[in-house]
Amino acid sequence: MLNNRPKLSDILNGGTDSLHQQWQSTQAAGDFSPLPAGTYTTHVTAGELFTARSGTPGYKLTFRILEGEHTGRQLWHDVWLTATALPMAKRDLGKLGVTSLEQLEMPLPLGIRCTVKVTLRREDDGAEYNRVQSFVVVGIDADPTADNDFAPDEPGQAEGVSHE
């Protein structure tokens, strides 16, 4: 039987010495535990249609924390697209400027800054997880990768847009 698996030296173009040194001196990352309950400043980084295992249609929002010791961590908020949940879906999606179902098939604009209130939930089996209780859009940050003549003078400056 022929072994066609690539070798480490092949994918690193022979430069394994540096990786070996880094491997020896690097501590393994710990598992992520739920974030503490509180309010976090975030960017909305994605919004995607999905179907839950139960078959329920939804729209999943991804928030990335911008400040503090948890910078870079992500939170998710499921917006359910059912007749019962529609009032809440329209409330949450409206905060992001989504006013029609067709918009759910398009990417969200970049730079939507939000404050997100997070709670800590505990299942009957003791497992803990985060839940986005609410969020408020506090501004739109200029996309530093865009060539935009109307962008604020200072990178990261919010336009002061506020929704409730």
* 67 belongs to a structural domain: yes
What percentage of the chain has pLDDT greater than the value 90? 66
Q: How far apart are CA 143 and CA 77, in angstroms?
A: 23
4-19 core/surface letters (b: 16 or more CB in 10 A; e: else): eeeeeeeeeeeeeeee
Is position 32 within any domain? no
pLDDT at 21: 84
Give the pLDDT confidence of 49-84 residue by residue, as tens digits: 999 999 999 999 999 999 999 999 999 999 999 999
Q: Which of 19-28, 32-41, 45-54, 129-138 has the lowest mean pLDDT?
A: 19-28
Q: Measured in whole angstroms, how far is the alpha carbon of residue 93 from the centre of its chain? A: 15
Angle, vertex CA 14, rays to CA 12 and CA 19, nearest 5: 55
Question: Could you tell me if residue 92 is inside a domain?
Answer: yes
What is residue 157's predicted lDDT score, i.e. its pLDDT?
A: 37
Residue 52 near residue 82 (C-beta atoms within 8 A): no
Number of domains in the chain: 1
Report the candidate in 25, 161, 6, 98 with the shortest Cα–Cα distance to residue 89. 98
Whether residue 86 is predicted with pLDDT greater than 70 in this model: the reply is yes
Is the Cβ–Cβ distance between 63 and 76 less than 8 Å? yes
Instruction: For residue 2, name the pLDDT band (cuts at 50, 70, 90).
Output: low
Instruction: Report the C-alpha dihedral over residues 109, 159, 138, 102, rounded to 10 degrees.
Output: -30
Assess if residue 4 is contained within a domain: no
Residue 121 has pLDDT above 80, yes or no: yes
**Residue 161 near residue 141, CB atoms below 8 Å:** no
Average the pLDDT over 99-123 and give the result. Answer: 95
Task: Give me the chain's average pLDDT, please.
Answer: 85
Position 25 in a domain: no
Structural domain harbouring 117: 38-140
For residue 118, what is the domain's CATH number?
2.40.50.140
| Position 132 in a domain | yes
Instruction: Report if residue 146 sits inside a domain.
Output: no
For residue 77, the model assigns a pLDDT of: 98
Q: Is residue 129 part of a domain?
A: yes
Between the CA of residue 98 and those of 18, 94, 125, what are the distances in Å? 48, 5, 37
* CA 52/CA 117 separation, integer angstroms: 23
